[in-house]
Amino acid sequence: MRLDRFLSGQTALSRRELTALIRSGAVTVNGTVIRRPETPVQPETDAVTLRGSPVTYSTSHWFLLHKPEGVITAARDPKQETVLDLLRPDDRLPKLAPVGRLDKDTSGLLLITDDGVTAHRMISPKHHVAKYYLARLRDPFRAEYVTLFRSGIRLREGDSEEQCQPAECCAISHDLAVLALHEGKYHQVRRMFAAVGNHVENLLRVQVGMLRLPPELPEKCYLPIFNKDVESALKNSDISDVCAFCDAHYSSYWIKERK
């Protein structure tokens, strides 16, 4: 692999910027300064530095973001702040995109990656990867929701109706509920609760598969994740475990909203 191509896949710098840096002597390979962008390197074995910092080779990159409300789930937008705008410039690598979507008025766990194949597995309904949400409701949670959601809520879509896949839900307090979805229709959680006569005041995605939103991670902040974390996001949890996690860490998440 060419040196400039290697660096372009591991940094957010343009090919022109990298070419200038290489020719200026800012890049070493195995301790030797290299000034030719076309120099071949072995990504898995060669030690490459840029401006004195090691460049670690990875075939894909993953970030876990605590998305705040008010930011849109898109790679770019000319008028509104996007989730990729929350990344540091050095982390805005080529081909990064959000995995699925979180609505503008929904906060919580959002994955960002340049691994399109694995991302598709996470969001495709046929792979049944669950996404878990914590909803704060206007009205008390009713026991009948469990059966109604499990049977598949029907949602209005224009002049017709669409059938939701069976979903699990449970309450952790009178107005806080956890919901597990295996699909991602437009505003689905809010529309499902509206279909049973309730209203979602706030919505937080707390988990994808078995990968949880770290309680200590503030809104607008993110962290890199690696193979073990990505694999856990493809395996589902028991909803009772998710409820216990939410009760322990997120049951007072919107306490300021209530005051």
So which residues are the catalytic ones?
103
* Phi, psi of 174, rounded to the nearest 5 degrees: -65, -30
Q: Is the dihedral of CA 143, 147, 148, 149 positive or negative?
A: positive
Read out DSSP for the chain? -BHHHHHHHHSS--HHHHHHHHHTT-EEETTEE---TT-B--TTT--EEETTEE----S--EEEEEEPTT-BSSS--SSS-BGGGGS-GGG--TT-EESS---TT-EEEEEEES-HHHHHHHH-GGGT--EEEEEEESS---THHHHHHHH--EEEETTEEEEPPP-EEEESSSSEEEEEESS--TTHHHHHHHHTT--EEEEEEEEETTEE--TT--TT-EEEE-HHHHHHTTSPPPHHHHHHHHHHHTTTTTHHHH-
User: Rounded CA gap, 134 and 11, in Å?
Assistant: 35
CB 63 within 8 A of CB 113: yes
Q: Tell me the sheet residues that pair with 162.
A: 155
